[in-house]
Amino acid sequence: MAAIAECSEGALFETLWVPHVSFRAIRLGNRRLQRCPVHRRWQLVHRVAPATLTDEQLAAAARYPAGPVL
Ligand SMILES: [Zn+2]
């Protein structure tokens, strides 16, 4: 299922966060190392609850939709 994640530099994007399945990501509990689509490099990202975000933040995340898991 799609989730919203925030990288260590505060960029928001959508990502796939499937329990017990991880491709191209190293899981560290609620944080994981993955390639940030905004900064285009590996960063520590964490999940963000959509309810805590403003419409503007949700729109920002939607600019980086979760792609297929490769
Ligand atoms: Zn980033």
Tell me: pLDDT of 69 over 70: no
Residue type, position 55, single letter: D
Distance 14 CA to ligand 1 centre (A): 12
Q: What angle do CA 18, 48, 51 make, to 5 degrees?
A: 110
Question: Which pLDDT score is estimated for 55?
Answer: 97
| Rounded distance between C-alpha atoms, residue 54 and residue 39, angstroms | 22
Give per-residue pLDDT as tens, 8-18: 999 999 998 76
**Per-residue pLDDT band at 45 (split at 50, 70, 90):** very high
* Residue 37 DSSP SS3: coil
28: left (phi over 0), alpha (psi -120 to 50) or beta: beta
Question: Which pLDDT score is estimated for 31?
Answer: 86
Which residues line ion ligand 1, judged by CB < 5 Å?
7, 9, 11, 36, 38-39, 43
